[in-house]
Amino acid sequence: MGKAGRENLIIRELLRHAPFTAFGALTGIIIMAIVVFSRAPAEISNAVFYTLHPIHVVLSALVTTSMYKLRGKGTLWVAILIGYTGSIGIATLSDAIIPYLGGALLHIPMQFHAPFIETAQMPFIGIAKWQLVNSAAVLGIAIGYWKPMTRFPHAGHVLLSTWASLFSFIAFGIANWIPLLPFIFLFLFIAVWLPCCLSDIIYPLIWVGEKRPKLPPLPQRDI
């Protein structure tokens, strides 16, 4: 795939994913309103985040690895490298860094966190957070390499990323959220739209060589 082809693919996929991402962000806003009005304790939001984030990592690793396996040479060590960096890196950007930066721009006190290196124990299950998150990446890579799939895992990836980013705001920030909902919608959209397309589609294709057997186009119904 040449440079022009990659650029066209990037633009096409970003435009095609925008409506579904906006829908995901809208569901996030509804969930935030429910959490705020129900006065759910911060501990619950924290537990929900550390449940959603590892699942997000699994799906991200699965789709990223699958995309490389289906479109590239399928070299194992390259698939592991792509699956790990594309899931841990992008999930951290989407679920932790962008919400943190969004909170800073909105003048919300936010606690910075990076789950893949955190040594604190997970809520309820008692294992270190870094162990669970990195194990989630390994699981997603294994599934994506031996049984590659992209369609439904990517749709789930988008929704889980939205909700994980949402609970990152609630669990690690303190604010009067209701007046900020339009801005939260914007940050949720950005936190999912660019990173998820980058992780699932653009990033693995960067590793695909220019000279490779001609393959059928990506399924047009992929979310």
Mean pLDDT of the chain: 83
How far is the C-alpha of 208 from the C-alpha of 189, rounded, in Å? 28
Span 101-154, pLDDT tens digits = 999 999 999 999 999 999 998 867 779 999 999 999 999 999 999 988 766 656
Phi, psi of 86 (to 5 degrees): -75, -25
* Contact indicator for 47, 124 with CB cutoff of 8 Å: yes
Tens-digit pLDDT profile for residues 131-142: 999 999 999 999
The domains of the chain are located at: 3-206
Nearest to 42 by CA among 159, 175, 171, 204: 171
